[in-house]
Amino acid sequence: MTEGPRAQALDPALWPRLSAAFDAALDLPADAREAWVAAQPADLAPALRALLQAHDGGAELPALDATAPAGQAGQRIGPYRLLSCLGVGGMAEVWGAEQVDGPLTGRRVAVKLPRGGGKLAGGRLGQRLIEERALLLGLEHPHIARLYDAGIEAGQPWLALEWVAGRPITEALAGRPQRARLIAFLQVLDAVRHAHARLVLHADLKPANILVGDDGRVKLLDFGIARLLHADGPRAFTPGLAAPEQQRGDALTVATDVHGLGGVLAALVPPAERSRALTAVIARAQAHAPTDRYADVEALAADIHRLLDHRPVAALPDARGYRLACWLRRQRWPLLGAAALLVGTAAALWQADTARREARRAEAANAYLLDLFKTLDRRAPDAAQPEAALRRLLAERSARIEATLPTDPDTADELLRITATLHDYLGDARRSRALAERRYRLLKDRLGLAQPRTQLAGMHLIWPLLASGDLAASAALLAELDPALPARGLLRAEWLLARHDLRERQGAAPAEREALLRAALAGYAADAPQDSGHAATWLALSELHAAQGRRDDALAAVDRALGLVERAQPYIASDHARQLLQRASLGAAGAAADEARALQLLRGSVGLRAPFVRQALAALVARRCAADRTAANALAAEAGVGGCAAAP
C-alpha cells in the first residue's frame, strides 16, 4: 500500500531523539514551533518537521525503517503474547498471538501494531489505528474479520483481531468451477455492502485482503485505510489497483469500492474464461468515471445473481441475440420435447423420455402425498393421534408401492423415498431403515453404484442407520460409497457430515470431528450453499464447540446456521428449532424469544416428541427448572422427557 511521496527512511538511531523533540515541540505554541524546529540539528530538523506536519494532518509521515519491528516474539501486549510476525504493511505489523489472561486463555488472535515503536506510535500512525478500532467496532458480519479487543500498551496502540487461517481468494479458488468462484464473490459483496450500510469504506479491496479459510468461508481483512463516508482521509492506495479518483486525491465514495470489487472479480476469472456478459460486468464495475460504474454494491450483486441464473445482465446493452440465448438456456428443460421433434436424434429423444419420466415421478409423488393427507379421517379411531394415523396410512400405502415396482420402478423409487423420509420424521427409525435399505438395494441392482441416483439413495440410507445405532452397518455403507462418490459436490459434503456423525458416536477426538465438519462446510459453501445440510453442519460445529467450552465459537457457528436455515432447500422446521434452542442454551441475548419460537416451530411440524429434538428439549427443561418448576414439568410431560425431579 502506498501513501503518497515518502521521505528517505529514518535512521533507527535517530528515533529516541526525534521522539523527545516531538514531545517538546507539541508543548510549544503553534506559532513558535517552526523557529524552534529550525534551530534543531541538521540531521533532526527535516524529520521532526515532517512528523509535526503529519500530526497536524497536513502531510504524510516519513517512511519508517522496517528493520525496527513494532513487536517481538514473546512480548506481552495487553492480555496477549506475540508469537510470530504474520506480515508488515505500510502502516502496521500483524502478529499472530495467543491470549494469556482472562476467561478465553489460549485463544489465537491477530494483533495489529503500528510501525515505528515507542512514542512515535502515539502520533499519526497511532491515531489511524485508533480510528480503525472505531470503524471495526461497528462492523459485525460473518465475512469481516472481527475486532476482539483494543488498547494502548506503553503508549503503543494495538488491536486484537480475529485470527483468520486461510489463503487469498484467488489462490484458494484457483481451479474451482466458475460458478463456485462467483458464489464466493457474493460473500465478499455482502461484507462490503454491510460496511457501506454503516457508512464505512474499505478503499483497499484486493485479493490479498480477502482470505478463504478451510471451511470455505470468505473473510474480508484490513480496514486500516477505511474512512467514514464523506469524511476526509489519507491518500492511501495500492498502486495498480486503486480507482482513478483515489490516485487523483479526489473524494472517495461507494463507487471506489465498486471499482475495487471489479478488480477482485477480474482476478478471480481470467479473460480466457469470461463470457461476454461477465466481461461487461467487470467493465462496468471498473469504469474510469465513478458515475459510469454500478451505483452501489447491491447493483453489482444483482448482476452476479443474473449471471448465475442465466438471465441478461444490466451491464450488457440490449441485444436481441444475447437475450434470446439467455432465455433458451433458462428454458432448456421445457424445450427438450420440442428439440427432440426438431432435431430428431436419438439423444434428444432419450433426453425427452428422461424428462417425461422425471415429470411422472414428481406427479406421482405429489399425488401420493395429497392422497395421504386427504385420507386422515377425523372420524377414525386414531384421529386424536395424527402421528399414529399417519403411520397406519403409510403402512396401507406400502402395498401400492409393491404393485408399482414391476411396471414403473422409477415412480416406485420416488414413493419409497418419500415413505422412508416420512417414517424418519415420525421417529420410526426401524421402518425408515427398512424402506431406505430396499430402495438402495433395488437401485444398486438395476443401475449400479456409479449412478448418482444410487449414490443419493445410499446417502439417504445412512441417516436411519445412524439413528438406529447400527454403527457397523453405517461404517460399511460409508466405506462402500466413498470410492464411488465424486471428490466434490453435494453428495461428498453429505458424506463428510455423515462420517462426522459416525465418528462422534464412535468417540472420535474433537480435532478429528472438527476437521470433518470444516471439510463438509467447504463443500457445501462451494457447491450447495443453500442445501439444508449446510445449516445442519454449522449446528453440529456449534455443538462441538460448546462441548469444548468454546462459547464464543459455538455462538458464532450457530448464528451462521440461523443465517442459512430460513433460505435452505428444503427448509426443515425441526432443524431451525434445534438451532434456536442451541443459541438459547449458550446464553445469547434474546434466549427466551428463541426458545418460544423453537417450541412454536416444533409444535407446528414434528411435535415435541420427535427423537432428534429430545436432547435439546431435555436441556431446555433443565434450564427452566430453576426459574419455574411447574412450567418446566409441564413442558417435560409434553416432550416426554424427564422433569425437574430428574434434572441434575
Nearest to 443 by CA among 478, 479, 477, 416: 416
Instruction: Pull the grid cell for residue 112.
Output: 495489529
- Residue 310 contacts residue 332 (beta carbons within 8 Å): no
Distance CA 21, CA 45 (A): 9
CA angle, 253 as apex, 249 and 255 as ends, to 5°? 105
Instruction: Pull the grid cell for residue 32.
Output: 513558535
Torsion sign over Cα 565, 517, 456, 331: positive
Instruction: Pull the grid cell for residue 44.
Output: 533532526
Q: What is the residue type of 538?
A: W
Nearest to 141 by CA among 93, 103, 195, 92: 195
Distance CA 521, CA 524 (A): 5
Q: What is the residue type of 27?
A: D
| Helix and strand counts by DSSP (H, E) for the chain | 26, 9
Q: For strand 76-77 and strand 80-88, is the pairing parallel, antiparallel, or unpaired?
A: antiparallel
Which residues are within 8 A (CB) of 498 and not within 5 positions of it... i.e. 6 or more apart? 459, 462, 463, 466, 474, 478
Distance CA 617, CA 195 (A): 38
3-class DSSP assignment, residue 380? coil
Q: What is the residue type of 115?
A: R
Neighbours of 391 (CB within 10 A): 18
Instruction: Pull the grid cell for residue 624.
Output: 427452566
Nearest to 261 by CA among 239, 279, 285: 285
Q: Annotation-wise, does 112 bind a ligand?
A: yes
Which residues are within 8 A (CB) of 231 and not within 5 positions of it... i.e. 6 or more apart? none
Torsion sign over Cα 276, 282, 285, 288: negative
Instruction: Pull the grid cell for residue 104.
Output: 478465553
Which residues are within 8 A (CB) of 625 and not within 5 positions of it... i.e. 6 or more apart? 632, 643, 644, 647
Instruction: Pull the grid cell for residue 418.
Output: 418419500
Give the 3-state DSSP-derived string for 166-191, with helices as H, strands as E and coil as C.
EEEHHHHCCCCCHHHHHHHHHHHHHH
Which residues are within 8 A (CB) of 463 and not within 5 positions of it... i.e. 6 or more apart? 424, 498
Neighbours of 5 (CB within 10 A): 7
Distance CA 11, CA 18 (A): 10
Q: What is the DSSP letter of 10?
A: P
Which residues are within 8 A (CB) of 310 and not within 5 positions of it... i.e. 6 or more apart? 326, 329, 330
Distance CA 561, CA 436 (A): 28
Of the CA atoms within 13 Å of residue 173, those in its CB half-sphere come to 29
Instruction: Pull the grid cell for residue 590.
Output: 434474546
Polymer length in residues for the chain = 648
DSSP run (H or E) holding 84: strand 80-88
Residues in the annotated binding site: 112
Residues in the annotated binding site for ATP: 112
